Amino acid sequence: MEQPLLEATGFRKSFGGVPALRDGRFVLHPGSVHALCGGNGAGKSTFLKILMGIHHRDAGTLLRDGKPMTFESPSQALANGISIIEQELSPVPAMTVAENIYLGREPVGLFGRVRFGDLNHMAQELLDGFHFGIRADSLMMDLTVAQVQLVEIAKALSYDAEIIIMDEPTSALGEAEADQLFAAIKTLTARGKGVIYVSHRLSEIFSICDSYTVFRDGAFVETGAMDTIDKDRLIHLVVGRPLTEEFVKENEPGGEEMLSVRNLSADHGVRDVNFAVRRGEILALYGLMGSGRTEIFDRLFGLSDTAGGEIVIEGTATRIDTPNQAIAAGLAYVTEDRKHSGLVLTGDVRDNLCLATLDRVSSGQLMRVGAERDAAQRMIETLNIKTASDKLSVSNLSGGNQQKVVLGKWFLTEPRILLLDEPTRGVDVGAKREIYRVMSDFTRAGGAVIMISSETDEVLGMADRAVVMRDGRVAGELQRAELSAERLLHLAA
Amino acid sequence: MTTRIGPLAQRYGILIALILLCVVLAAVNENFLSQRNIINVLRQTSINGILAIGMTFVILTRGIDLSVGSVVALVGVVSASFATTSTAGVIGSPYMPLIAVVMGLATGTAVGAVSGTMVARFSVPAFVATLGMLSAARGLTLIYSGGRPVPALTDGYRWIGTGDIAGIPVPIILFGLVFVLAHFVLTQTRFGRHVYAVGGNPHAAKVSGLPVRRIRFAVYAISGALAGVAGMILAGRTGSALPQAGVAYELDAIAAVVIGGTSLAGGIGRVSGTVIGALLIGVMNNGLDLMGVESYYQQVIKGGLIVAAVLLDRSRKSED
Amino acid sequence: MTTRIGPLAQRYGILIALILLCVVLAAVNENFLSQRNIINVLRQTSINGILAIGMTFVILTRGIDLSVGSVVALVGVVSASFATTSTAGVIGSPYMPLIAVVMGLATGTAVGAVSGTMVARFSVPAFVATLGMLSAARGLTLIYSGGRPVPALTDGYRWIGTGDIAGIPVPIILFGLVFVLAHFVLTQTRFGRHVYAVGGNPHAAKVSGLPVRRIRFAVYAISGALAGVAGMILAGRTGSALPQAGVAYELDAIAAVVIGGTSLAGGIGRVSGTVIGALLIGVMNNGLDLMGVESYYQQVIKGGLIVAAVLLDRSRKSED
Amino acid sequence: QDDPVKIGMAAYGLNAEFMQLWSAAGEKHPAVQSGMVELTVFDGRYDALVQQDQFETMITQGYDAIVFAPMDVEAGATAVQLAVEAGIPVVGSNARVNSDQLTSYVGSDDVEAGYLEAKAVLDKMNCEGDVVIIEGPIGQSGEIQRGEGNEKALAECPDVEILERQTANWSRAEAQSLMENWLTSHGNDIRGVIAQNDEMALGAIEAIRAAGMDVDNFAIAGVDGVTDALNAVKEGRMDSILQDGEAQALGAIDVAIKAVRPDYEPMSDIWKQYPDMPWNGGADSEYNVPWTPVTAENVDALLAARQ
Ligand SMILES: Nc1ncnc2c1ncn2[C@@H]1O[C@H](COP(=O)(O)OP(=O)(O)OP(=O)(O)O)[C@@H](O)[C@H]1O
Ligand SMILES: Nc1ncnc2c1ncn2[C@@H]1O[C@H](COP(=O)(O)OP(=O)(O)OP(=O)(O)O)[C@@H](O)[C@H]1O
Ligand SMILES: [Mg+2]
Ligand SMILES: [Mg+2]
C-alpha cells in the first residue's frame, strides 16, 4: 500500500487535568477525503488542532510522509504542507478579504512594500474560481458569517497544501455554496491531496467522503471505508447507541396567530415582508445566503437600525425597539453567530445559561445561587451539554456544546415565540434530536417557532410551513404538504 | 476534583507572590511583622485599595477611569470645606461631619456619573472621557479651593482618616467594608453578573436584554463614589484637603487591578485579586522604606518586583 | 457603495474637529495663524507626536507602553552625557554628536526591547511590563545622572532640538520624517500589515504562520527607539538633559493615539489619525496659552475640548 | 498715555499653594491694579519644556518682559536665552536659573533656608539625638540648595546622626507614609525631622500623631510658611521659615517694569518692608528677599495677612 500522507497514533491531550483526547488515531492517504466523525466534545477539533500545531499534544506520535514530526506552531505545520479551516471562524475584521487570505504570504516588492494590486488580483481570481461572489477588497467586518466562512475556505485552499483539514467547513453555508466546496474538494483529491473532513451533516459525509474514522469520548473507535457502512451504523458509532428517527415532530399547528408582521422592513434592503406564525406551529424561513432572513429576526428582536412595519403579537400591535421589549413580549432569539452575539466567552457555562433569566434566579438584586445552579443543571441535562462542570468557561467547550449553551439560555426564558437562526449549526446528530424534541414539545405546549435553516432536510423534517425569501422579499410560501427540496430551491433562486 | 487545580493556582498565584515578598521582608527586617507596621501597611494601602476596587468595576466592563486621582482631590476640597473649624463655627452643629461626608460622596458620584454618561450614552471611549475628566476635575478643584489647601478640619471629620474603632484605624475598616461590599455585589448580586457579562461581550449582553448602558453608567458612578471615599480618607489623614492631592493615583489603582489578575479586556477578574495587588504595592513601598533603600534604587527595584510578581503568577497558567 | 461612507467620515471626523478649533482660535487671536506661531505649535507637538506614533504601533497590537516618558528622560541623560562640552573636550571630535545620537537610539531601543521581551516572550500584560519599566527606567535615569541635569550640551547636539534646515526646525522635520516612515511601514509593508493582524486577531495571525511574538517584540522596540528620538529632541531643546523630564508624557501620547481614532482593543487605526490627535492637543495647549486663559480654567476647558472633539467624531462605531 | 506694559509671569506650576500665592501677589501689584501693566500668568505644569513653549508663545505675542520662576536650573537657561534674543528682558524670581542673561534675580537664598530650618531643629534638640531628612524632588534646585544648608547646620552638630534621608517629592501624603515607615524601623530614636518644605513637615507630624506618639517629643521644621504650617507653628508643633513669595513676585515685577520703562519708580511697598534689600535704582543683578523665621510672636500677623 502507498505511503500515507499522515499517520497519527496515541494522541493524548488534557486541559487543566481534564482529558479532552485520550487516544486519537488517524491515517490519511493521498487522494482521499477522510471523514472524522464523533459527537460534540468527542475531541475532533482538539485532535485537528494538535495536527496543526495550535495545541501541543501530551503524548502520541505523528508521522508525516513516514517521518516523525512535532509541530511547535502552525507555521511549522504550514511549512509541512498542512492547512486548516478552523471550526471557529477567525477573521481579522479590519483587514480586507485579500489580506486575510494571503496573511503572511503577501507578495512584496521594493522596500518590503506589499504589492496590493497583485494581492487583490490573486485573491479575486481565487474567489472567482470557486464562484464565491465576494469582492477581494471588501473588509472582513462587512461580510456575513457565511461569507467569512467562504473566505476561510478559499484561504485554506490557497496554500496548495498536501493535507487540508476542514473542521465543519459548511456549518454556516447554504447548500449552493457547499456544493462549490465539494467541487473544489474533488479537484484536490484528483491531484493526490488528502482532506480531513469534519461535519455533523451526515448526508455530506456520505456524498463526498471515501473513508471514515470515529472518535467517541476522546478515543478512537473505528475506521473503515465509507462504502462499508450505512447511516444508521455510523450514527450508532457516533452517539454510542442506536438512534432510530432523526426528527421528532409531534406538534399540531392551531388556528390562532401568535405573531404576524405587516410590511416589515429591515436593514440591508429587506422590505414589504408579511407573514404570520400560529400557535403550535413551526415555521421555516428559507432562503439562500444573504436573502435577508437574519435581518428579519434582528428587526423582530429590536436589534435593527430600520424599524418600518408592524408587529402583532397575540393580537396586540407591539413596538419592539430593544431586545428587552422583545423578551418582555415573549420572544427569544438564538442568533446565528454564537461568538459575536450569543456567548459571553469570558463567562462560565452557568453564567451564560442564566444570562437572559437573571431576574428569575434572583430575589431582587440578590442572586439565588442555588436556583442559578439548578437552572443551569436542568439545561445541561436537557440538552446533554458535555462539560466538566457548570463552572467551566464556555470558551473551553467544544463548538457544538457552545451552541447548546446558547439554546439553553433562551429555553430558560420560557418564551412563547422562539426565533431560531440555524439552531443546529455544529450540533451532533444525537443532540440535534434533543433540539428537535425541545422544539416539538415547545410548540405542543402552545408556543410557536420560527426557524431559519439552510439544511433542506431540516426544513422538510420539522417545518409545518415555509416562507421563502429572495433578495429581501418574500418569494412565496409552502404548506407542509407542498414542501420539497425542489420547490424550496425553485422559489429561493 | 482535579479540575479545581488550574483555577486554584490561577486564583492564588499573585497571593503566593505577596506571601513570598512578606516572608523575605520579615526575614530581613524584624519590624516588618510588628503589629504597628502591619497596621501602617494596611492604612497606607487603604486609599489605593479603595480606588482600585472602584477601578475593578470599571475595568470589568472593558472601561478605564483615569480621573480617580483628580476626583480624590476634588472631593477632598469640597467635602472638607463643610468641615473646617471656621465653617463648623458658622453652621455649628455636631452633624457637620455628616454633611461633609454626604457632600463628598455626592461630588464623587456626580463626577463619576458625568464620565459614565459620556461613555455609556455618547459612546466616547472611556480613555478619552476620563482623561478629559482628569483634567477638568483638577481644574474645578483648583477653582473651588483657589489653589489653597482647605485647612483646619474639625476633629469629627478628621476621624475618617485618623480615628480608630477598637484599635483598628478607620481607613482600614472602610477599606475592609468596601472590599466586602464590592465582593458581595460582584459575586452575589444580579448587578454583579451584569457587570461581568457587559465586559465579556457587550453585544451578547445587549441581545440577552441587559441594560448595557445603565450598567456602564453605574460602574463609573461607583468608581467616582469610591474615589470620594478615598478623597475623604486622604483629607482626614493629612489634616487638610490639598488641591494638588492624588496626582497620578490612577496608575497605581490600575496597576493593583491588573496585578490582581483582572483583564483590561473586560469580563475577567475579582476584587480579591485587586486587594492583593494593592497590598503587594503597599508592602513593596513599605518594605523598601523600612530597609532604607535609596530612593533611586527603590524605583528600579519596584519596577522589577511588579513584573516579577506577575511573572510568578502567569507562569502558573497553562499554555496559550 | 454606501458602506464606504462610514470609514470616510471616520477618517476625517477628528480632522474636522481640529480645523474647527483652528478656525475659532484664528478668529479670536490674530497671532494664531502667524508663521511663527504655526512653527511653535508644530515644534511643541513634535515630541508628543513622535512618542504617539511609536505608541500607535504598540496599541495596534493591543498593547500599551507606559514607559515612554521615563525613556525620554533616560535617553536624554545617556546620550547627552556623550555630548556635553566637557566630554566633547575630552574625546574631542566632530563625530561626538553622532556617537551621542547612536547611544541615545541604542538606549531607547534596548529599553523597548526589554519591555517587548517581557510582553512577547513571557506574556506579562503590557500594562504591567511597561509600568514596571516606567519605574525602573526613571530610577536608572536618576542613578546614571546622580539626579542632576546633564548640562551644557554641545551645539552639534543641540542642533537636534534647536537647529533648522531651510528655515524649518529640525524637530518638525524629524516629526515629519517619522510620520511618513511610520505611515509607509504600517500601510505599505508586510510588517505593517502584520502589526494590524496581530492586533486584530492574534489567533488568526498565529494560525496563518505569522511570527506573532517577534512582531509584538518589535513594536515595543520601535516605541522605545522613537521615545529615544523624542528624548534627544527634548534634551536638545532644553539645552540640558533633565532626569525628571518626561513625567506623565505617556498619558498625552496615548491620548493622541486614541483621539486619533485608534482602538485600544487593537487592529484598527492609523498614524495620520494619531498625528491629528497630537496636533489637536498641541493646538489646544498653545491656543489657551495664547489667549491667556487662566490656568485653572484651562484645565477645565481642555478636559471639555478633548471630549468634545471626540464627540464630534460622531462616526465612530459604538461598541455594542 | 502709553500702551500698558505686557508682562508674562511664568510659574513652574500652579497646583500647590506656594506658587499660587506667588502668582496671586503679582495680580495685586499696584502697577497691575492701576492698569499700567497687563499681567498674564502662565502655568508651567511642572515641566521645563512646557515653560520653554510658553516663552515661545510670549515672544510670538510680543510681551515686553517676563518674570520667571523656572522648573529647572539648567533647562531654564535656554528659555531665558530665547527671550533675550528676542529682545525681551527676563527677571528671575523664586527659583534660580543658571544663566547670565537675566536682567536680575529676585529671590531668597535656599541654602540659608536649609541652614535656618536645620538649625531650628538642632537647637531644639540641643545637638543631641538623631534626625531624618525628608527631601524635595531629587535634582531640583530647591532640594539641592536646601540640602546644602541642611548639611552646613548638621556639620555644627557632629554627634547628630542622619538616620534616613529620602525624597517625598514636596508631597504631604508621601511624607506621611515615609515617616510612618521610619517610625516603625527606628522607633523612638528619631528626635528631629528636617523637611525641606512645610508640606512634608506637616506630613511627618500627621504620621507621628497617627503612630500615637507625642509631637512635642520631636523637633520638626519646614520651609515656606504655607498657611497650614503657620497654624502648626502657632500650636507649637513645628518651626517654619517663611519664604516671602509675594515679595519675590512684587519685587520681580518692579524690576521688570523698570527694564521696560527706564523712568519707572517701584510701586510695591516691599522695599519699605525689607530695608535690608534696597532698590538701588532697580539695577542690582540680585535682590535677596530675606527669610522670616515664623515665631509665636509674628505668626498671628502672618496668618491675618493670608485672609
Ligand atoms: N481549552 C480547553 N480547555 C478545557 N477544555 C477544553 C478546551 N478545549 C476543548 N476542551 C474540551 O475538550 C473536549 C473535546 O473538545 P473538542 O473541541 O475537541 O470537541 P469536538 O469533537 O470538536 O466537538 P464539536 O463537534 O462540538 O466541535 C470537550 O469536552 C471540551 O470541553
Ligand atoms: N454588516 C453588513 N454590511 C453590509 N451588508 C450586510 C451586512 N450584513 C448583512 N448584509 C447584507 O444584507 C443582506 C441580508 O443578509 P442576512 O444576513 O440577513 O442574510 P441571511 O438570509 O440571513 O443569509 P445568511 O445565510 O448569510 O445568514 C445580504 O445581502 C448581506 O450581504
Ligand atoms: Mg469541534
Ligand atoms: Mg443569516
**Per-position DSSP letters for B65-111, written without gaps between them:** -TTHHHHHHHHHHHHHTTSBHHHHHHH--TTHHHHHHHHHHHHHHHH
pLDDT of residue D233 exceeding 50, the answer is: yes
**Per-residue model confidence (pLDDT) at position C271:** 96
Pocket of ligand 1 (CB under 6 A): A 15-16, 18, 20, 38, 40-46, 87, 386, 396-401, 428
Geometric angle at alpha carbon D201, from C247 and C242, rounded to 5°: 25
Nearest ligand, measured from the Cα of A270? 2
Which residues fall within 8 angstroms of residue A6, CB to CB, at 6 or more apart? A26, A27, A28, A51, A62, A63, A64, A65, A82, A163, A194
Confidence of residue C320 (pLDDT cuts 50, 70, 90): very low
| Spacing of C-alpha C76 from chain mean position | 15
pLDDT of residue C315 exceeding 60, the answer is: no
Please state the domain extents for chain B.
35-279+296-308
- Output the CA–CA distances (angstroms, integers) from residue B94 to B86, B99, B239, C21, D160, in the order listed: 14, 10, 19, 51, 46
Residue A64 and residue A80 in contact, taking contact as beta carbons nearer than 8 Å: yes
Among residues B246, B205, B245, B262, the alpha carbon closest in space to that of B63 is found at: B262
Mapped onto helix, strand or coil, the DSSP state of residue B188 is helix
Q: What is the pLDDT of residues A358-382, one digit of tens each?
A: 989 888 889 999 999 999 999 999 8
Please state the domain extents for chain A.
6-239, 257-330+415-492
Among residues C54, C153, C157, the alpha carbon closest in space to that of C101 is found at: C157
Q: What is the ipTM of this complex?
A: 0.91
Query: 10 Å Cβ neighbour count for A68?
Result: 9
For B35-279+296-308, the fitting CATH number among 1.10.3470, 2.40.128, 2.60.120, 1.10.1450 is 1.10.3470
Q: What is the pLDDT of residues C197-229, one digit of tens each?
A: 999 999 999 999 999 999 999 999 999 999 999
Q: What is the pLDDT of residues B236-247, one digit of tens each?
A: 988 889 999 999
Residue type present at position A265: S
Which residues fall within 8 angstroms of residue A233, CB to CB, at 6 or more apart? none
Torsion angle, alpha carbons of D30, D32, D35, D40, to 10: 180
**Per-residue model confidence (pLDDT) at position D205:** 94
Chains touching chain B through at least 3 C-beta pairs below 8 angstroms are A, C, D
Using an 8 Å CB-CB cutoff, list chain C residues near B288: none
Residue B201 and residue B44 in contact, taking contact as beta carbons nearer than 8 Å: no
Taking the alpha carbons of D208, D214, D218, D222 in that order, is the dihedral positive or negative?
A: positive
pLDDT of residue C136 exceeding 80, the answer is: yes
pLDDT of residue B149 exceeding 90, the answer is: no
**Per-residue model confidence (pLDDT) at position C2:** 33
- For C75: left if phi > 0, alpha if psi spans -120 to 50, otherwise beta; the answer is alpha
For residue A457, how far is its CA from the centre of ligand 1 (angstroms)? Answer: 27
Residue located via cell numbers 456544493 = A179
Question: Are B197 and A351 within 8 A, CB to CB?
Answer: yes
Q: What is the pLDDT of residues D185-225, one digit of tens each?
A: 888 899 999 999 999 999 999 999 888 899 999 999 999 99
Query: 10 Å Cβ neighbour count for B214?
Result: 14
Residue C129 and residue C115 in contact, taking contact as beta carbons nearer than 8 Å: yes
Averaged pLDDT score across all residues of chain C: 89
**Per-residue model confidence (pLDDT) at position B266:** 92
DSSP B239: S
User: In this complex, which of D172, D184, D211 lies closest to B242 when CB atoms are compared?
Assistant: D172
> What distance in Å separates the CA atoms of residue C255 and residue C306, rounded to the nearest whole number?
9
Count CA within 13 A, CB hemisphere, residue A110: 0
- For ligand 2, atom 6, name the residue with the nearest CA: A268
B139 touches chain D (CB under 8 A): no
Cβ-in-10-Å burial (0-12, 13-18, 19+) of A432 comes to buried
Which residues fall within 8 angstroms of residue D29, CB to CB, at 6 or more apart? D37, D39, D249, D250, D253, D254, D267, D268
pLDDT of residue B153 exceeding 80, the answer is: no
> What distance in Å separates the CA atoms of residue A174 and residue A454, rounded to the nearest whole number?
5
> What distance in Å separates the CA atoms of residue D294 and residue D302, rounded to the nearest whole number?
8
Nearest ligand, measured from the Cα of A287? 2
pLDDT of residue C186 exceeding 50, the answer is: yes
| Mutation for testing the D interface, residue in C158, C242, C251, C285 having most D CBs under 10 Å | C242
| Spacing of C-alpha B31 from chain mean position | 27
Residue located via cell numbers 487662566 = C294
Among A144, A148, A335, which is best to mutate for testing ligand 2, by the most ligand atoms less than 8 A from CB? A144
> What distance in Å separates the CA atoms of residue C221 and residue C266, rounded to the nearest whole number?
18
**Per-residue model confidence (pLDDT) at position B3:** 36
**Per-residue model confidence (pLDDT) at position A454:** 84
Outline where A38-166 has alpha helix (H).
44-51, 74-79, 97-101, 116-129, 145-158
**Per-residue model confidence (pLDDT) at position B319:** 37
Using an 8 Å CB-CB cutoff, list chain A residues near B319: 55-56
Using an 8 Å CB-CB cutoff, list chain C residues near A112: 189-191
Mapped onto helix, strand or coil, the DSSP state of residue B144 is helix
Average pLDDT over residues B176-190: 97
Regarding chains A and D, contact by 3 or more CB pairs under 8 A is answered as: no
Domains A6-239 and A257-330+415-492 share a fold: yes
**Per-residue model confidence (pLDDT) at position A44:** 95
Cβ-in-10-Å burial (0-12, 13-18, 19+) of A2 comes to exposed
Q: What is the DSSP string of chain D?
A: -PPPEEEEEEES--SSHHHHHHHHHHHT-HHHHTTSEEEEEEE-TT-HHHHHHHHHHHHHTT-SEEEE--S-TTHHHHHHHHHHHTT--EEEESS--S-S--SEEEE--HHHHHHHHHHHHHHHTTT-SEEEEEE-STT-HHHHHHHHHHHHHHHT-TT--EEEEEE-TT-HHHHHHHHHHHHHHHGGGEEEEEESSHHHHHHHHHHHHHTT--GGGSEEEEEE--HHHHHHHHTTS-EEEE--HHHHHHHHHHHHHHHHSTT----STHHHH-TTS--GGGT-SEEEPPPEE--TTTHHHHHHHH-
| Mutation for testing the D interface, residue in B35, B46, B85, B148 having most D CBs under 10 Å | B148
User: In this complex, which of C193, C204, C211 lies closest to A91 when CB atoms are compared?
Assistant: C204
Among A141, A150, A268, which is best to mutate for testing ligand 2, by the most ligand atoms less than 8 A from CB? A268
Among residues C230, C232, C218, the alpha carbon closest in space to that of C99 is found at: C232
**Per-residue model confidence (pLDDT) at position C148:** 83
CATH class, domain A257-330+415-492, is: alpha beta
Element spanning C127, H or E: helix C126-145
Confidence of residue D17 (pLDDT cuts 50, 70, 90): confident
Question: Are C124 and B300 within 8 A, CB to CB?
Answer: no
Q: Which three cell numbers stand for residue A7?
A: 499517520
Among residues C2, C12, C17, C13, the alpha carbon closest in space to that of C279 is found at: C17
**Per-residue model confidence (pLDDT) at position B152:** 64
> What distance in Å separates the CA atoms of residue B187 and residue B201, rounded to the nearest whole number?
18
Among A13, A398, A427, A434, which is best to mutate for testing ligand 1, by the most ligand atoms less than 8 A from CB? A398
**Per-residue model confidence (pLDDT) at position A426:** 85
> What distance in Å separates the CA atoms of residue A481 and residue A277, rounded to the nearest whole number?
17
> What distance in Å separates the CA atoms of residue D22 and residue D14, rounded to the nearest whole number?
9
Residue A77 and residue A51 in contact, taking contact as beta carbons nearer than 8 Å: yes
Chain B residues 239-298 with CB within 8 Å of chain A: 263, 266-268
DSSP C318: P
Taking the alpha carbons of A345, A348, A350, A354 in that order, is the dihedral positive or negative?
A: negative
Tens-level pLDDT at each residue, chain A (493 residues)? 578 999 999 999 998 888 999 999 999 999 999 999 999 889 999 999 999 999 999 999 999 999 999 999 999 999 999 999 999 889 999 999 999 999 999 999 888 899 999 999 999 999 999 888 899 999 999 998 889 999 999 999 999 999 999 999 998 888 888 998 999 999 999 999 999 999 999 889 999 999 999 999 999 999 999 999 998 899 999 988 888 778 888 888 888 899 999 999 998 888 899 999 999 999 999 998 888 999 999 999 999 887 788 999 998 999 999 999 999 999 999 998 888 899 999 999 999 999 999 989 888 889 999 999 999 999 999 888 989 899 999 999 988 899 999 999 999 999 999 999 999 888 888 888 888 988 999 999 999 999 999 888 899 999 999 999 999 999 999 999 999 999 998 998 8
Q: What percentage of chain C exceeds 90 in pLDDT?
A: 69
**Per-residue model confidence (pLDDT) at position A79:** 94
- Minimal Cα distance from B184: which residue of A? A366
Chains touching chain C through at least 3 C-beta pairs below 8 angstroms are A, B, D
Average pLDDT over residues B238-260: 92
Query: 10 Å Cβ neighbour count for B242?
Result: 30
Confidence of residue C116 (pLDDT cuts 50, 70, 90): very high
Residue located via cell numbers 486587594 = B275
Domain topology for A6-239: Rossmann fold (3.40.50)
**What is the maximal distance between C-alpha atoms in chain D?**
68
Averaged pLDDT score across all residues of chain B: 89
The number of helix segments (H) and strand segments (E) in chain C equals 14, 2
Confidence of residue D6 (pLDDT cuts 50, 70, 90): very high
DSSP C84: B
Confidence of residue C295 (pLDDT cuts 50, 70, 90): confident
**Per-residue model confidence (pLDDT) at position A431:** 85
| Spacing of C-alpha A274 from chain mean position | 28
Question: Are B266 and A351 within 8 A, CB to CB?
Answer: no
User: In this complex, which of B37, B148, B234 lies closest to D17 when CB atoms are compared?
Assistant: B148
**Per-residue model confidence (pLDDT) at position A171:** 86
Confidence of residue B10 (pLDDT cuts 50, 70, 90): low
> What distance in Å separates the CA atoms of residue A221 and residue A199, rounded to the nearest whole number?
17
- For ligand 2, atom 18, name the residue with the nearest CA: A292
Averaged pLDDT score across all residues of chain A: 92
Mapped onto helix, strand or coil, the DSSP state of residue A26 is strand
Atom in ligand 2 nearest the alpha carbon of residue A173: 25
Question: Are C139 and B255 within 8 A, CB to CB?
Answer: no
Cβ-in-10-Å burial (0-12, 13-18, 19+) of C142 comes to buried
Residue B212 and residue C320 in contact, taking contact as beta carbons nearer than 8 Å: yes
**Per-residue model confidence (pLDDT) at position C1:** 30
Atom in ligand 2 nearest the alpha carbon of residue A336: 27
> What distance in Å separates the CA atoms of residue A240 and residue A231, rounded to the nearest whole number?
14
Among residues A36, A456, A38, A401, the alpha carbon closest in space to that of A247 is found at: A456
Question: Are C247 and D60 within 8 A, CB to CB?
Answer: no
Nearest ligand, measured from the Cα of A405? 1
> What distance in Å separates the CA atoms of residue C171 and residue C234, rounded to the nearest whole number?
9
